[in-house]
Structure formats: structure tokens, C-alpha cells
Amino acid sequence: MIRLGNVLVSPGEGGVYGERMLEGYRVWDPYRSKFAAYYLLGGGLDLTPGMRVLYLGAANGTTVSHVADYVETVYAVEFAPRPMQDLLEVARRRKNIVPIMADANRPDAYAPFMEAVDLVYQDVAQPNQVEIAEKNLVFLKPGGHLVLMLKTRSVDVRRDPADVVAEARAGLEQHLDVVEVRWLEPYHHDHAAIVCSRRG
């Protein structure tokens, strides 16, 4: 990952969502991207040029565009029509983004467009966030990684966020090795990044 001082940046063409430029690089804002927050808070999973990524919950393509600056291919899944319009425009400008309008709960619907990936990134804020991640492990290579951006208040607003994360971790450990759990304060309240690796 590229940093200029304490600023996280990516090396692609600017002007995707009005982001600042710094010495020819795009500033990756941690307040607008949970992935950027994870890195700036010391997260240890790097994006590398040969990677193929399945991105669940692509939304308008803000974070997707930065991920695409670093990796070979991003399969970007989004269900809502309005954000999908923005995502299509982002994909038009970055040829390594494959936009897929589909429900991340139903990976069978986009399996024909997929290949095995090195990273599954899950940012779908629904009560069954862990289940969605697990359903999409079918695409993850042995030795690959899952990054689950867990929005604890979407799982259960009444429960302690730490308990929600502990339960999610326990569920994921049935299928994967949990590498790290990192809270995203102060950038994203009650969010935690759970990073897992798939057993070889």
C-alpha cells in the first residue's frame, strides 16, 4: 500500500468522486472508506497487483475504485439500482472492474461471471452479514482472505457491539482462520474489520 507521509493513497486516475490528489496519487479517505480506515489503523492485509477480488456491497464504487487501482480484477456486486448507476460509470473508466447487479445472498446468480478470487471483501450491512460472507466462500481460493466489515448495529442494535463481533468471529472460525479483528474507530462507529484466511 502506498502512503505519502501519513496519508493513504492509490495510483489510479482521479476524479471518481471528487477525491483530492496528492503528488499525482488519489487520496484514499478513511472517513469514506472502511478499507482505508482499516489500513490507517494498522491493518496488515495488503492489496497486490496480481490479486482478483470479489467485492460484495460495492455501492457507488468509491472504495471499489481504490481497490481496482491496486489489483488485477475486481468483481463488484451491488443490488440497489441507484448506486449501480454510479458503479457502472466507475467501471467504464476502470477496465478491471466487473460490475454485477445481484444479491450477495445468492452467489449462484453470479457464479457464471466469476472465477476463483484471492480476496472476498464483504461490506453488506444486513443482519446476516456473516452468513453472506460464508455463502461467498465458494469463490475463495485456498490460502485466500476474507475481509468482513461488520456493522454491529445492523446485526442487532440492542446488543453490545463487542458481543456481536465475538459471535461473528466464532461463526467464521468454523470455516476459516481469523487473522485479526480491528475496530474502525474513530472513522466508523461500531464497525469492526474481521480478517480471515482460508485453510489451504
48 annotated binding-site participant = no
Q: Of 111, 107, 65, 102, give the one whose Cα is nearest residue 84.
A: 102
Whether the bond into 186 is cis, omega within 30 of 0: yes
- How far out from the chain centre does Cα 52 lie? 12
63 annotated binding-site participant = yes
104 annotated binding-site participant = yes
68 annotated binding-site participant = no
123 annotated binding-site participant = yes
103 annotated binding-site participant = yes
62 annotated binding-site participant = yes
Q: Indicate the Cα dihedral angle 111, 115, 121, 125, nearest 10°.
A: -10
131 annotated binding-site participant = no
Give per-residue burial for 138-148: e unless 16+ CB within 10 Å, then b: ebbeeebbbbb
Q: What is the DSSP letter of 39?
A: H
Spatial separation of the C-alpha atoms in residues 87 and 55, rounded to whole Å: 12
Annotated binding site: 62-63, 78-79, 103-104, 123-126
Annotated binding site for S-adenosyl-L-methionine: 62-63, 78-79, 103-104, 123-126
